[in-house]
Amino acid sequence: MNVYDFTVKAQDGSDISLSDYRGKTLLIVNTATGCGFTPQYVELQKLYDECAEKGLEILDFPCNQFANQAPGTDEEIHTFCTGRFGITFPQFAKIDVNGENAIPLYRWLTDNTRFGGFGKSVMAIPLAAMAKKMDKDYKNNGNIKWNFTKFLIDREGNIAAHFEPTEDMKNVTEKVKEIL
């Protein structure tokens, strides 16, 4: 099984097969408009501008599971992201990434990766405290801990890397360029 086996919902509710992205390098991100990590949209768009012609696609999946930080409709979220951050990469319908309502794509991503730690960023300690409150065993599973968790998928549709939201975007960019 790989990423191409999944179908997701577009903003308009239509089905999109991820096999449409076959041969591309993908960066799959669960996002939120009201999160402290929301400014990462700037760096994600910069990465997309620089690498889209080389075969990168960033797939944006809004998610409201973490502190109600993406409460708007799909259209409101899209308008915010394009207006405030100028994003041009694909943005999909709002989803759940954890729990019984998690979409199959995210079940596969979380079943096949493990938590890599929050590192030493300023947000590491408060994020660890929030993650522990939501899931006492958070260090030992692949569940999404917060908004802006990223999965890098290689051109064959396999998971190449998993980045927590605290990962420096310079490291994400380096790994994307390596995979491209």
Distance CA 101, CA 105 (A): 11
Residue 30 has pLDDT above 90, yes or no: yes
Its domain, for residue 61, covers 25-179
Q: Would residue 63 show up in a list of annotated catalytic residues for this protein?
A: no
Residue 137 has pLDDT above 90, yes or no: yes
Of these residues, 35, 51, 63, 81, which one is catalytic?
A: 35
Residue 110 has pLDDT above 90, yes or no: yes
Average pLDDT over residues 141-160: 97
Distance CA 117, CA 146 (A): 12
Task: Tell whether 35 is covered by a domain.
Answer: yes
Query: Mean pLDDT of all residues in the chain?
Result: 96
The CATH number given to whatever domain includes residue 90 is 3.40.30.10
Q: Each residue of 75-87: pLDDT tens digit?
A: 999 999 999 999 9
Tokens 């790994």 correspond to what residue? 175
- This prediction's pTM: 0.96
Structure tokens at 65: 């599971």
User: By three-state DSSP, how is residue 60 classified?
Assistant: strand
